[in-house]
Amino acid sequence: MDLPKQLNDKFSIGEYSDGIHADDLENLKTGEYGYRYRLLENVVMPPYITPEKYQFSRTIQTRDSDICYTSYPKSGSTWLAYILVLIVNNGEIPACKDTLRNSLHWVASSWTYPRSQAELEATPSPRIFKSHMPYQMALGGDPIKNPCKYIYIARNPKDVAVSYYYFEREKSWSGYYSGPWDHWLKIFMEGNVQRGSWFDHVLSWWQHRDADNILFLRYEDLKANFKQELRKIMTFLGYEQHDDMITKIAEKTTFENMQKDNFSNMHEIKEFHSFFRKGKVRSWKEQFEEDQCLAFNEFYEKKNERHWTQFDLG
């Protein structure tokens, strides 16, 4: 849907464009219903994760004060990002930053978070990095060999599949993908969507959850026991836990507040005007047909035969 010109003028980040952001056009691929992607290390990635930017992200020299939060898309990472920004700023929005996006560094992206090496080196600690990479493609190389602290958040794959479908539909970075829900669910289960297989992605980090510098979280736990999970994050990062600060962060990071707050709602990115959709647990029930639910559950059980992590699939 085209937006009025007066609204377009307010966006500091416009639509993704192959010609501007893809770098190597010849390696872009187009699937059914126009779905646009590239392959990096045999994993399906968005076109704006270019080989050059990816290599840059892998060779970043991390600091012991750095924080990298990562997830499969649509798993609560923006919520986590706001929590982290507030933790390192004593519960306050940093005075020198006008948006959440400008408080973070996503160095693998050539589009929404452009950052140079000089900018990163000049950024005072603590730096907060955003990532959607599986473990073997993580920021800075092998995480357990890095001084950086990594926080991974996982979410029920059914909720992820639904949220991701609505996020990718008719968007510039997906080639204006126009497929129906049943097609999306099929390629999601096959791992042929941007970021690859949810199962492989989550498992890659779960297998390293006991490393001293890795914290594995679940979206559902954060929803159910926010203050308890917040204290877990703060303990992991080495921050003191004051009740007033805990309460302040809890209030500022509610779904409703993040949705209406221009600091956190991604209003400055043109195609993110509906970035926050529902933010609920088990909203997949409104989308899945009964046969789709049964097929997904069976597929999940096969992938999860060693019971490496549990989600309530209903």
Which residues are annotated as catalytic? 132
Residues 6+ apart with CB under 8 A from 121: none
| Rounded Cα distance, 42 and 210, in Å | 27
What CA–CA distances, in Å, run from 280 to 194, 220, 276, 305?
23, 9, 11, 27
Cβ pair 148, 140 in contact under 8 A? yes
Preceding amide of 143 cis, omega within 30: no
| Rounded Cα distance, 158 and 226, in Å | 22
HSE toward the beta carbon, residue 225, CA cutoff 13 A:
8
Sheet holding 43-45, edge to edge: 29-30, 36-40, 43-45
CA torsion sign for 200, 163, 256, 265 is positive
| Rounded Cα distance, 244 and 255, in Å | 20
Pairing of strands 214-218, 67-71: unpaired
Q: Is 292 helix (H, G, I), strand (E, B) or coil?
A: helix
Among 21, 63, 27, 69, CA closest to 44: 27
